[in-house]
Structure 1
Amino acid sequence: MATTLPVKIEFSLPEGWQPAPPDEVGAPGVAFVALHPDSRDGFTANITIAGKLREDEADLVAIADESVQRLSTAATVRVAQRTQVGTPEAPALTQTLRVSTALRERPLELVQSQVYLVMRDVHEPAKRAVIELVLTAKSSQLDEVADDFKEFVRTVRPAGPADA
């Protein structure tokens, strides 16, 4: 079942990307899905947005490791790259995963680019929302969609008071 984000955000999708209902495209547990129909080649490249409130002290590396563990229950996963970015006030982490799985009983090699953003509650700094932005694509599709994902990530921000 699709979820909602713990904080309101706003973003812009690059040209050529289309929103899709998470439950209808097999992405339960995420709040938003966008598909790139032009990349369809046995697999459609996609962007997902998920997030949850975290009241624990887990750092972004531990949270990224949780994602690797979750994916590892259904696929073989290798962390290809991981970088902490952002600032102390707005920490973020990026990681690239190589995922070996199967689709309709055929082997499928995917790349996931994941970005984790922390958004703190201004009234209760101990409460923080961790937003997970993910691009999933076949290696052969990556050149076509990687810049779009970077462009998308640059547009993600907390929704302004008028949007709340």
Structure 2
Amino acid sequence: MATQDRVSLPLGFDIPDGWVPVEPSSVGAEGAVFVAVHRGTASEFTPNITLSVGQRPDQAQITDIADEAVERLGRSMAALEVVRRKVIGTGIAPGVTQVLRIRTGEGQDLVQTQVQLTVPGASPAERLILEIACTATPEAARGLGDDFRRFVGSVHVRRDTTADEGEDS
């Protein structure tokens, strides 16, 4: 299995109302470049959106990359089931959306919606993969789906900033 190296990319995105950016390391998401939590949900689990960027110089198909994401998450969960998966995008910039039902080691049932998107590079070895995920309890996930879709739809590569900024726009 190929590794996915973390990279910087000048991203812009819109943070939906009710979501608050937090330092990724403060919530155990060291591999993420952006994390937001939803403060308005009364639950023992705080819903979150994470965004990670990695370079994939190999020739792995986007469905294989989605499988790797499932396998990686499954290593830290008591149970994991892929409920739904759909290939999206175009031939040059394919993507995958998938909905996962997970159970933590503490017995908490969660739903994670993942989106893997390809950002083509100047050569195949320079392609990047954006992994965007929203994790919440099943009850909260039903009410937060539109927020997550808006967030994913707003993510774009910015041309007017340095690679370290990655702020919302």
Answer whether TM exceeds 0.5 for this pair: yes
In the alignment, structure 2 segments of 5+ residues that lack a partner are 163-169
| 2:99 match: secondary structure | strand
Match of 1:101 in 2: 104
TM-score (normalizing by structure 1): 0.90
1-structure distance, mates of 2:155, 2:130: 10
Structure 1 position 163 matched with structure 2 position 166: no
Contact map agreement 2:57 2:124 (CA 8 A) in 1: no
Give the number of the structure with larger relative contact order, counting CA–CA contacts within 8 Å between residues 6 or more apart: 2
Q: Which string of whole-angstrom CA distances, capped at 9 and with x for unpartnered residues, describes residues 92-114 of structure 1?
A: 11001000113xx4x10010000
One-letter amino acid matched to 1:58: A
SS of 1:64's equivalent? helix
| Structure 1 ranges of 4+ moved more than 6 A | none
Give the conservation status (yes or no) of the 8 Å contact 1:6–1:129. no
- Residue 111 (structure 1) aligns with: 111
Does the 8 Å contact 1:120/1:126 carry over to 2? no
Q: Measure the CA separation in 2 of the matches of 1:40 and 1:120.
A: 40
Identity of paired residues, percent? 38
Q: Which residue of 2 aligns with 1:126?
A: 125
RMSD: 1.5
Q: Does residue 164 of structure 2 align to residue 136 of structure 1?
A: no
| TM-score (normalizing by structure 2) | 0.87
Q: Quick check: 1:48–1:133 contact (8 Å CA) kept in 2?
A: yes
Using the TM superposition, name which of 125-134 and 41-50 deviates more.
125-134
